[in-house]
Chain A
């Protein structure tokens, strides 16, 4: 089955540690996205990538980094510079930036202890 997978489902991190969230898709989509969701908030865009080896900052990129070395993979690293990293993180993909539908993964819940 085609889809988007995110791992792990739950992640715990100590303050001061970097952590990487995985996002993989087998939909052959060009564009991929990372969103952050906090209680009472909509989704906010962290980073996006419209093509392999290229990515741009979204609205709340500070304290995060990404890479896009392969079409199917778009990992997100939450660095120690992110002041309030506890949140639910969603990855999405679309056929291209010009396609209007984004498909979402199941999400990762990150908790900083």
Chain B
């Protein structure tokens, strides 16, 4: 079974600076998706960025980018020019590309709480 580990329960960053959140996962599959979700105090889950495992290029969405290291099974999220609105829980998630049964469901890490200091 696949697992997702976020080793940093809490992180803090100064406004306008850069922070990196870590995520590792365990799988025997070669094709899969990886995601970062943001959950602000409103508790609404928002998709931040996704990465397909077959793509070597790291995904980027404005100030958010990932460092995907497939061999190391690592998927970190970098937030540049941090803003107060970035303060939230961030969840890393894994999804198999096999859609049979429960294999296509999301598997979440336990989250990292990010604080942004003004």
Q: A76 an interface residue at 8 Å Cβ cutoff?
A: no
Q: B105 to A45, Cβ gap below 8 A?
A: yes
Q: A33 to B105, Cβ gap below 8 A?
A: yes
With a cutoff of 8 Å between Cβ atoms, the chain A residues found around residue B44 in the complex are: 104, 106-107
Q: A43 to B50, Cβ gap below 8 A?
A: no
Q: B104 to A43, Cβ gap below 8 A?
A: no
A36 to B67, CA, bound (A): 29
Q: B109 to A58, Cβ gap below 8 A?
A: no
Count of chain A residues with a beta carbon within 8 Å of a chain B beta carbon: 22
The 8 A CB mask of A53-64 against B (1 = contact, 0 = none) is: 000101000000
Tell me the smallest distance from the CB of B103 to a CB of chain A, in Å.
9
Tell me the smallest distance from the CB of A34 to a CB of chain B, in Å.
11
State which residues 39-53 of B face A: CB under 8 Å: 42-47, 50
Q: Output the residue of A56, A104, A106 with the most chain B CB within 10 A.
A: A104
A90 to B44, CA, bound (A): 9
Contacts beyond the supplied A43-B45, A90-B45, A102-B47: 10 A-B pairs with Cβ under 8 Å: A41-B111, A42-B4, A42-B108, A44-B108, A45-B105, A56-B101, A58-B105, A100-B33, A100-B50, A104-B44
Listed by A's residue number, 19 A-B pairs whose Cβ atoms lie within 8 Å are A33-B105, A33-B106, A40-B9, A40-B110, A41-B111, A42-B4, A42-B111, A43-B45, A43-B91, A44-B108, A45-B102, A48-B102, A48-B105, A100-B33, A100-B95, A101-B50, A102-B47, A104-B44, A104-B45
